[in-house]
Amino acid sequence: MKLFMKKCGLVVAGGALQGFGMGLFLFPQAIPSGGAGGIAVLLNHWFNISMGPSLWIVNFTMLMLGVQYLGKRFALWTFVGITMTSLSIDFFESTFPIVHRNLLLDLVIGSVFLGTGIGILMRQGVSNGGVGVVAFMISHGRNILPGKPLFFINISIFFVTAAVISWEIVILALISQWISTTMVDLVYRLDFYHVYTLSWRKKT
């Protein structure tokens, strides 16, 4: 029970942190937080769906693709994480509007919180949803840090998003991804050899 409560708290915290980074800093500047964020930006652009629900739809769809490989327990925890993230995005976007914004500060601060939140989730054996599911599958299968596959998958989606909306997005998104995936690896590496597997047993 103690382990369960700790994991639950960390999953909620990880989801809230990445939602804070996206909702308060990245999305107001139209900076995709990742591959799922890029697709969510497109849904917002084409169908005028708000970012929180758009991101949840994308994350849930990608999660369903990973259930068979990663298991139902992984899917359940990831569902908790992505739901917390979407709720946090809507909360911070609507509750704490920033009038005088600075693009560089928003980019750096938002990316740091985003990467920290994702790193916390992945240390608990939980994906941040979206293409993070695919990155986690690669990381889990090859026993490597998840930042690199996450980066390369995301930039592919960024180019599509930029082609539709604006090519300036590519530069901002790439910088954001470099910062956030660096933070993912930093946070993940702190406990890389002692993370709990999906069955909650320590790796040997």
Query: pTM of the predicted model, to two decimals?
Result: 0.76
Find, among 152, 156, 153, 148, the residue nearest to 185 by Cα.
Answer: 148
Phi and psi torsions of 33, nearest 5°: -80, -10
Find, among 96, 88, 13, the residue nearest to 52 by Cα.
Answer: 88
- Determine the pLDDT at residue 111: 95
- Determine the pLDDT at residue 53: 86
The residues, any chain, with a CB within 8 Å of residue 55's CB and separated by 6 or more, are 22, 36, 37, 40, 82, 85, 86, 89, 130
Q: Which residues in the chain come in under a pLDDT of 70?
A: 191-204
- Determine the pLDDT at residue 191: 54
- Determine the pLDDT at residue 153: 84
In sign, the C-alpha dihedral spanning 124, 128, 130, 135 is negative
- Determine the pLDDT at residue 20: 95
